[in-house]
Amino acid sequence: MNNLDTLKEGYKNFSEGNIEAVLSMWDEKIVWHACAGLPYIEGDGIFIGPQAVLTNVLATIPAHFDDFSIEISDFIDGGDKIVMQGYYTGVWKETGKRFKANATHTWTFKNGKPCTFFQAVDSALIMNP
């Protein structure tokens, strides 16, 4: 499986709620750069390792969102660096309002596993749709 296929499988697993499969695909020392503009992201938004990402990012999604999903528009395949372009959709629980916000993920691969993630998202559209 090439890096793009691995990434597509990861997004598929995420959409199906198979978070364990997602975590198992990542490098054990993945460096995760979450968008610090989201109010539920602690500190500088940098987390190291799958467990830290699960605890500080993924496990917090249900507390802040209803019907959260990622709509993928495109992948830009650079081999060891792949960019996902798309949107986050859902309902921000604090306001009860539905949103659709631009989102970009940049993934860096090492030895066939994602080792770095960088997120850019229009957090203003999420919190104030």
| pLDDT over threshold 90, residue 124 | no
* Residue 120: CATH number of its domain: 3.10.450.50
* pLDDT tens, residue by residue, 35-54: 988 878 888 999 999 999 99
Q: Do residues 68 and 61 make contact, with C-beta atoms less than 8 angstroms apart?
A: yes
* Full residue range of the structural domain in which residue 78 is found: 3-127
- Helices of type H across 1-129: 3-15, 19-25, 50-56, 61-64, 123-127
Q: How many domains does the chain have?
A: 1
| Rounded-to-integer distance, Cα 72 and Cα 31, Å | 22
Query: What is the token pair recorded at 106?
Result: 């940049």
| Rounded-to-integer distance, Cα 71 and Cα 93, Å | 19
pLDDT at 128: 82
- Helices of type H across 26-113: 50-56, 61-64
| Rounded-to-integer distance, Cα 75 and Cα 66, Å | 26
pLDDT at 100: 96
Q: Do residues 30 and 119 make contact, with C-beta atoms less than 8 angstroms apart?
A: no
pTM of the entire structure?
0.93
